[in-house]
Amino acid sequence: MSNNNDSIDFDEWLNREAAEWDDASGGLKDLLRSIGQAAIQIYKEITGAGLAGMLGSEGRMNVQGEEVQKMDARANQIFIDTLQAAGVCAGIVSEENEHVVVFDDGKSLRSEYVFLMDPIDGSGNIDVNISIGSIFSIYRRLSSPGSRVAEQDFLQPGKNQVAAGYFLYGPTINWILATTNSVNAFTLSRPDNRFFLSFPHLKAPLRGPFYSFDNHNYNRVDQSIRNYVNYCMSDTQNTYGPYSNRYYGCMVADVHRNLLKGGIYFYPQTKDKPNGKLRICYECNPMAFIIEKAGGSATDGRQRILEIHPEHIHQRSPLFIGSREMVKELIAFGD
Ligand code: FBP
């Protein structure tokens, strides 16, 4: 099936692409379909949140020590309920849940996949109608299908991911999905609530005009990072610059723009966040998997993000991610 501009719909793409995957059971296809359906439901509720009293805080803190927004909790529950009802994964790790969400119904137990997510990235933007996103990561479980998942299933290095993606909620939904051999972008056709392939085989430009850094941290980061920020802003030092600072307060939006147009996003370690802010398992790893599949780079300043072996499910890391040449130039400032 295709829409009026002859792009194919997600199901047709999935059936064609999955023929090359190691997914004999079809479980990964079913999981991806359910993820897409959850995102459509979340988008419906985001667009109606202002009129449904769903803006603002729930009045409690999560395990991250961050105030939980009503839409954080609602999006989290939609993903959990949708995936559990479909029996398409054996368990979930979420930014919003302190512990692993273990499924013990028959079909979920038999799934060979586990799912990790940041249900709403850019939570601070929810109340001001600025873009937000959802981020997810999928692994094959290490424990045997039929048994309950264990934390070890979720503490694999990011290079083990079988798929990763994000949804960017704006005038419509852009879904960026990285699988074993490519990164593809889908756009939601709102009249019929179906995703259509909009950018096949995305490739990240080697460099671009944008850097994404919160200047709020300028005096809290290492001198080498300050030197790089000064380089980004320089008319003289930087033969490609000065770069434009575009920082949305939503990593999904910043990484998405930089993926399409070229740029670098960085959230380093700071005096008050010595391990950085972003979480390895459900923010750094999925975004690193996507950007590397598209030809970009993602590092913690010392090693590839995808090589890190997380020790706990909410472990944080510094993150430098984007166009390959720009990540390289930033790292050179630390030498
Ligand atoms: P959340 O997932 O809790 O929203 O945190 C991630 C994030 O919002 C990123 O999307 C964004 O780039 C960063 O935090 C903003 O943090 P800060 O306000 O400290 O710059």
**Which CATH number do you get for residue 278?**
3.40.190.80
Question: How far, in Å, from the CA of 137 to the mean position of ligand 1?
Answer: 18
Q: With beta carbons less than 8 A apart as the criterion, state whether 126 and 252 touch.
A: no
Closest listed residue to residue 258, CA positions, set 250, 246, 242, 240: 246
Q: Which atom of ligand 1 is found nearest the CA of 123?
A: 4
Q: Is 170 in the pocket of ligand 1 (CB under 6 A)?
A: no
166/216 same-domain check: no
Three-state secondary structure of the chain? CECCCCCEEHHHHHHHHHCCCCCCCCHHHHHHHHHHHHHHHHHHHHHHHHHCCCCCEEEEECCCCCEEEHHHHHHHHHHHHHHHHHCCCCEEEECCCCCCEECCCHHHHHCCEEEEEEEEECHHHHHHCCCEEEEEEEEECCCCECECCCHHHHCCCHHHCCEEEEEEECCCEEEEEEECCEEEEEEEECCCCEEEEEECCCCCCCCCCEEECCHHHHHHCCHHHHHHHHHHHCCCCCCCCCCEECCCCCHHHHHHHHHHHCEEEEECCCCCCCCCCCEHHHHHHHHHHHHHHCCCEEECCCCEHHHCCCCCCCCECCEEEECHHHHHHHHHCCC
Question: How far, in Å, from the CA of 187 to the mean position of ligand 1?
Answer: 24
Question: How far, in Å, from the CA of 121 to the mean position of ligand 1?
Answer: 7
Q: Which atom of ligand 1 is found nearest the CA of 66?
A: 3
Q: 204 lies in a domain?
A: no
44/176 same-domain check: yes
- Rounded CA separation 29/11 (Å): 9
Mean pLDDT by 10 residues, the chain (335 residues): 68 93 91 98 90 84 86 96 98 97 96 98 91 97 97 98 97 95 95 95 98 98 97 92 95 98 98 97 98 98 97 98 98 90
224/185 same-domain check: no
Question: How far, in Å, from the CA of 327 to the mean position of ligand 1?
Answer: 20
- Rounded CA separation 330/335 (Å): 10
Pocket probe for ligand 1: among 251, 254, 266, 279, the residue whose CB has the most ligand atoms within 8 Å is 251
242/176 same-domain check: no
- Domain boundary residue among 199, 231, 253? 199
Q: 82 lies in a domain?
A: yes
Q: 125 lies in a domain?
A: yes
Q: Is 66 in the pocket of ligand 1 (CB under 6 A)?
A: yes
CATH number where 16 lies? 3.30.540.10
Would you tell me how many other CB atoms lie within 10 Å of the CB of residue 5? 8
Q: Is 67 in the pocket of ligand 1 (CB under 6 A)?
A: no
181/216 same-domain check: no
- Domain boundary residue among 154, 178, 199? 199
The single-letter code of the amino acid at 57 is: S
- Supply 277's token pair: 């802010």
- Domain boundary residue among 138, 172, 199? 199
Q: With beta carbons less than 8 A apart as the criterion, state whether 125 and 69 touch.
A: no
164/220 same-domain check: no
Q: What is the pLDDT of residue 5?
A: 56
Q: Is 316 in the pocket of ligand 1 (CB under 6 A)?
A: no
Main-chain dihedrals φ then ψ at residue 166, nearest 5 degrees: -145, 155
Q: Is 70 in the pocket of ligand 1 (CB under 6 A)?
A: no
Q: What is the pLDDT of residue 34?
A: 98
**Residues paired with 176 in a beta bridge:** 166, 185
Total tally of structural domains belonging to the chain: 2
287/168 same-domain check: no
Domain span at residue 19? 10-199
Give burial (CB, 10 Å; 0-12/13-18/19+) of 37: middle
Q: What is the pLDDT of residue 219?
A: 98
194/215 same-domain check: no
116/221 same-domain check: no
Q: Is 256 in the pocket of ligand 1 (CB under 6 A)?
A: no
Q: 191 lies in a domain?
A: yes
Q: 2 lies in a domain?
A: no
Question: How far, in Å, from the CA of 214 to the mean position of ligand 1?
Answer: 10
- Rounded CA separation 192/260 (Å): 26
114/232 same-domain check: no
Q: What is the pLDDT of residue 6?
A: 65
- Rounded CA separation 245/8 (Å): 35
258/305 same-domain check: yes
Q: Is 119 in the pocket of ligand 1 (CB under 6 A)?
A: no
Q: With beta carbons less than 8 A apart as the criterion, state whether 236 and 194 touch.
A: no
179/289 same-domain check: no
- Rounded CA separation 3/193 (Å): 12
Q: Is the bond preceding residue 242 a cis peptide, omega within 30 degrees? A: yes
Question: How far, in Å, from the CA of 30 to the mean position of ligand 1?
Answer: 30
Query: What is the model's pTM?
Result: 0.96
Q: What is the pLDDT of residue 241?
A: 82
